[in-house]
Structure 1
Amino acid sequence: MSAIAIMSDDKMDTAPFDPRFPNQNQTRYCYQSFVDYHRCQKLKGEDYEPCEYFKKVFASVCPNSWLEKWDGQLDANTFPGKI
């Protein structure tokens, strides 16, 4: 799986290194960023800008098919994670 660049206003970056996930397999980093984003929005509200960091990370690390599945699970209240 190749890293997709995170787009900002004037530069492109990949997801930054996270010492909690030191290995090349980024599955846990993907999942945790997705969960952290939704927890942040739940606690702080949808307009809270710092939550966007987690969205940018999971958008660059996670396969789109996983995101579609998880979004569907969130809508159906069947997502297995604690948000």
Structure 2
Amino acid sequence: MADLIEEKIKNYRTAPFDARFPNTNQTRNCFQNYLDYHRCNKALSEKGQDESPCQWYQRVYKSLCPMSWVSKWDDQIEAGSFPGKI
């Protein structure tokens, strides 16, 4: 399974269609993938497992989200004022 994930990450070009977000506005898709990335990292690091499967979420949110949003959210996480549940 890890090989399959690594192959998908290697062949990644842009965010694929996600049926949860069928509309043109991809703001929620951006935010959800940002949350999923941080939740994945947290869950796998607590278990002491490899965090490489989380790279998929990171690539998706980096292709969808404006970097100004990402840096703002990163600052909020560091300050403890991030509005999402990680």
Q: TM-score, normalised by structure 1?
A: 0.84
Paired amino acid for 1:32 = Q
Counterpart check, 1:49 vs 2:44? no
The runs of 4+ residues in structure 1 deviating greater than 2 Å are none
Gaps of 5+ in 1: 1-7
Which residue is equivalent to 2:61? 58
Deviation at 1:38, TM superposition (A): 0.2
Instruction: Describe the superposition over 1:19-45 as per-residue Cα deviations: whole angstroms up to 9, x where unpaired.
Output: 000011000000000000000000002
- Aligned-partner Cα distance in 2 for 1:14–1:57: 7
RMSD: 1.5
Q: What is the DSSP-based 3-state SS (H/G/I as helix, E as strand, rest coil) of the residue aligned with 2:61?
A: helix
Larger radius of gyration: 2
CA distance in 1, matches of 2:13, 2:24: 17
Q: Which has the higher strand share?
A: 1
How far off its partner does 1:47 sit? Answer: 4.3
Q: Which has the higher helix share?
A: 2
Residue 37 of structure 2 aligns with which residue? 37
**Please, what TM-score do these two structures have when normalized by structure 2?**
0.81
Partners of 1:74 and 1:56 in 2: how far apart?
A: 19
Q: Which moved more, 1:45-54 or 1:26-35?
A: 45-54
